Amino acid sequence: MSDQQPKPRPRAARESMPRQDPEVRRHNFDEVALGYSEEQAVREAGRCLKCKKKPCVGGCPVEIEIPAFIHEIAEHNFDGAVAKLREKNSLPAVCGRVCPQEDQCEKVCVLGVKAEPVAIGRLERFAADHEMKSGKMAFPAPPAPTGKQVAVVGSGPAGLTLAGDLAKMGHAVTVFEALHKMGGVLVYGIPEFRLPKGIVQREVDYIEKLGAKMVPNFVVGKTRTVDELMREGFDAVFIGTGAGLPYFMNIPGENLNGVYSANEFLTRSNLMKAYLFPRYDTPIKIGKHVGVVGGGNVAMDSVRTGMRLGAEEVYCVYRRSKAEMPARQEEIENALEEGMILKELTSPVKIIGNDKGWVKEIECIRMDLGEPDASGRRRPVPIDGSEFRIEVDVVVMAIGQGPNPLVPTTTEGLSTTKWGNIIADEATGETSLPGVFAGGDIVTGAATVILAMGAGRKAARAIDAYLKKA
């Protein structure tokens, strides 16, 4: 066997990702990154050193056997690669697209010391897309039912991962979603051009076929409280409601027409498909000049959505400098290529409206970087007298999201932080209430898809252990 294995080709250059041309893509909502061809994938997989230590596995929050699936690709066994991925990851097509691999598996890749790391994320996407193209879905043998029922609150990455894991363990899982479509932030937040909704639907279908029951249009905290779910027969509840509370800056003019929270702007476009208005009924204001405030991934998504809706100019107004922007480097580069005008070291002080109550300008102040703050980044300090205005007709506030209070405030005895995040054990997701677990952004504050998935994975193990004891 071993002499038939392809030799690693670590010296070969990392395969670049084919992408839509910036001039073309800034006018459409189609996916930007087109994915590796089979030849590219096999070549890239051939770069893996198959090192003994496999630091990449430790760098993955859901512990994918990375060298193993890459090996299958190198051997042209794409079905085998999918099977390896599916062992640990219920959402490979999602992770292959939106995980910040540069901060996780690829960051610790041994090859990265002297050259560019193996493009693990792109290979994961390749394998997941192969599964989709093949139309085949392989499922593990159905487990023996345990007779235990688990309610999952929220169908985002944490909830879906946990639902998949618990279903594979034989528990009866019901996933409750407040919106009309399953997927949480994957559906309402992340745009089509980064994560096509058909792909999310397919991942949801996969988890449903594993046995999880999907219930949209159900607001836990309103339709039923967590206590009521427990009383009505659920043995455990997992809360993964995410960061569903938009923050505003509390500056004058934020309630003018044309000022959106990023949540609203993206929900209208992504979930409600306002970019297809009037074929779809939900409208969205098409700004000529759009100002997006913030420097994270949500800000980049808002900038790029504004462009695709038809804006002539889209500004990113960020109070620190480009180097401190929390968005993925790749997304910042994508946005810049598409024409984003970056106003770094700039902070809005007020929004100015016209006589009809519509936004017409943002007044900003220039910033300087002072001493590092609690986050370790240099604190932006306003420069007196440096105010200036930017003409805009749409403003999107993408300065962060907090925990939605609907579940915490209706669940008696559930401990939260002063910011409203649920307090949960990092290793298990256990909360202050027996049988109630939590994970993802509702616990950590706004973070990434994969970290939420990791929390779901850990909580699934803890819930399984809890149910076996009960």
Partner 1 sequence: MAVGCEGSDGGQPMFKISEKQVLAPGTMLFVVHAPMIASKVQPGQFIVLRICEEGERIPLTVADFDREAGTLTLIFQEVGKTTRLLGTLEAGEEILDLVGPLGKPTHIERLNLVACVGGGIGVAPVYPITREFKAKGCRVVSIIGSRSKDLLILEKEMTAVSDEIYVTTDDGSYGKKAFVTQELERLIQEGYNFEFAIGIGPVPMMRSFAKVTSKYGIPGKVSLNPIMVDGTGMCGVCRVSVGGKTRFACVDGPEFDAAEVDFDLLCARQLTYCDEEKESLAAFERGKCGGCSK
Among residue numbers 144 through 173, which ones bind partner 1 (CB under 8 A)?
149, 151
With binding defined as CB under 8 A, does residue 178 bind partner 1? yes
- The two three-digit tokens of residue 297, written as one number: 């991934």
- The two three-digit tokens of residue 346, written as one number: 């700039």
- Among positions 217, 329, 354, 386, the unique one binding partner 1 when judged by CB under 8 A: 217
- Among positions 9, 19, 213, 378, the unique one binding partner 1 when judged by CB under 8 A: 213
β-bridge pairing 236-239 and 245-246? unpaired
CA distance 138 to 86: 9
C-alpha closest to that of 263 among 244, 279, 284: 244
With binding defined as CB under 8 A, does residue 216 bind partner 1? yes
- Shortest gap between Cβ of 309 and partner 1 (angstroms)? 13
Angle, helices 197-209 vs 157-168, to 10°: value is: 30
Torsion-angle region of residue 365: left (phi > 0), alpha (psi -120 to 50) or beta? beta
Stretch that binds partner 1, among 27-35, 56-64, 161-169, 209-217 (CB under 8 A): 209-217
Q: 3-state class of 214 per DSSP? A: strand
With binding defined as CB under 8 A, does residue 280 bind partner 1? yes
Q: Of 344 and 393, which CB lies nearer to partner 1 in the complex structure? A: 393
- Among positions 222, 288, 389, 468, the unique one binding partner 1 when judged by CB under 8 A: 222
Q: Which residues pair with 150 in a beta bridge?
A: 173, 236
Among residue numbers 246 through 275, which ones bind partner 1 (CB under 8 A)?
246, 248, 250, 254-255, 257-258, 260-261, 263-264, 267-268, 272-273
β-bridge pairing 172-176 and 213-215? parallel
Q: Which residues pair with 390 in a beta bridge?
A: 362
Residues that contact partner 1, how many (by CB under 8 A): 55
With binding defined as CB under 8 A, does residue 278 bind partner 1? yes
Q: Of 66 and 396, which CB lies nearer to partner 1 in the complex structure? A: 396
DSSP 416: B
Q: 3-state class of 241 per DSSP? A: coil
- Shortest gap between Cβ of 255 and partner 1 (angstroms)? 6
- Among positions 115, 219, 369, 423, the unique one binding partner 1 when judged by CB under 8 A: 219
β-bridge pairing 245-246 and 401-402? antiparallel
Q: 3-state class of 207 per DSSP? A: helix
Q: Of 245 and 423, which CB lies nearer to partner 1 in the complex structure? A: 245
Residue 469, Cβ neighbours under 10 Å: how many?
A: 6
Q: Of 170 and 218, which CB lies nearer to partner 1 in the complex structure? A: 218
Stretch that binds partner 1, among 2-10, 50-58, 280-288, 359-367 (CB under 8 A): 280-288
With binding defined as CB under 8 A, does residue 410 bind partner 1? no
- Shortest gap between Cβ of 74 and partner 1 (angstroms)? 39
Locate all alpha helices (DSSP H) within 89-119, ordered by sequence. Answer: 92-98
β-bridge pairing 149-153 and 236-239? parallel
Q: Residue type for 328, please?
A: R
Chain residues binding partner 1 by CB under 8 A are: 149, 151, 174, 176, 178-180, 182, 188, 208, 213-219, 222-224, 229, 232-234, 244-246, 248, 250, 254-255, 257-258, 260-261, 263-264, 267-268, 272-273, 276-283, 285, 356-357, 404-406
